[in-house]
Amino acid sequence: MSHLIDYIKVYLFGYQTTVHAHTIKQTEDNYSLEGKIAPRFHNEGETDVIILNITVKPGEMFNCSANTFFMQGNINIIMSDDRDKNKLVCIYNSLQEKKDC
């Protein structure tokens, strides 16, 4: 039911989605997905990354989304101790109220 309310807000009350990127360089025990829409993780580093017990090799992507729905909860992201070789980028959308011009 809450997702229906979100759709009503988007279409009737002037909301829009915006895209964001967040770079992660070290292990995150509780990376928050709260409010993210369609989060995708891109391993742009030189080392393997483990997300939800799945190994994501350099150059690979991990899709953690339920398209068009706001995510909730946290996930564990495990990276090597070498921060200089780690680079995981989370691309996601969020809902923003449109501003009048």
E strands, 1-101, in order = 15-24, 28-32, 37-43, 49-51, 54-56, 61-63, 74-78, 88-97
Is 2-97 assigned to CATH 3.30.365.10?
no
Tell which wins on pLDDT, 1 or 81: 81
pLDDT tens across 5-55, in order? 666 666 666 677 889 999 999 999 999 999 899 999 999 999 999 999 999
Between CA 42 and CA 21 the distance in angstroms is: 10
Query: Which pLDDT score, from 0 to 100, does residue 97 have?
Result: 74
Mean pLDDT of 61-81: 87
Query: Maximum distance among all alpha carbons in the chain?
Result: 48
Q: What is the pTM of this model?
A: 0.80
Domain boundaries, the chain: 2-97
